[in-house]
Structure 1
Amino acid sequence: MTKTIKRVAVIGTGVIGASWAALFLAKGLEVVATDISPNAKKALDDFIAAAWPALERLGLAPHASLSNLRFTDNLEAAVADSDLVQENGPERIDFKQDLYRRLDGLLARDVIIASSSSGLTMSAIQSACPDHAERCVIGHPFNPPHLIPLVEIVGGNKTSEETVHRVTEFYRALGKRTIRLHKEVPGHVANRLQAALYREVVHLISEGVVSVGDADTAVSWGPGLRWGAMGPSLLNHLGGGQGGIEHFFEQFTGPMTAWWHVLGSPELTAEVRARIIKGVHEETQSRSVRDIAAYRDDVLLGLLSLRHAEV
Structure 2
Amino acid sequence: MNRNVILTCAVTGAGDTTGKNPNVPVTPEQIANDCIDAAKAGASIAHIHVRDPNTGGVSHDLEHFREVMTRVREADVDIVMNITAGGGGDWIPDVQDPTRGGPGTDIQTPAERHAPVGEFLPELCTLDCGSLNFGDMVYVNPADWLREHARLVQAAGVKPELECFDLGHVWFARQLQQEGLIAGDPLYQLCLGIPWGAEADTETMLAMRNKLPDNAQWAAFGIGRAQMPMVAQSALLGGHARVGLEDNLYLKKGMLASNAQLVEKAATLLENLGGQVMSPAEARAHLDLRNRTKGGEA
Q: TM-score, normalised by structure 1?
A: 0.32
Greater C-alpha radius of gyration: 1
Q: TM-score, normalised by structure 2?
A: 0.33
- In terms of fraction of residues, the more strand-rich structure is 2
- In terms of fraction of residues, the more helix-rich structure is 1
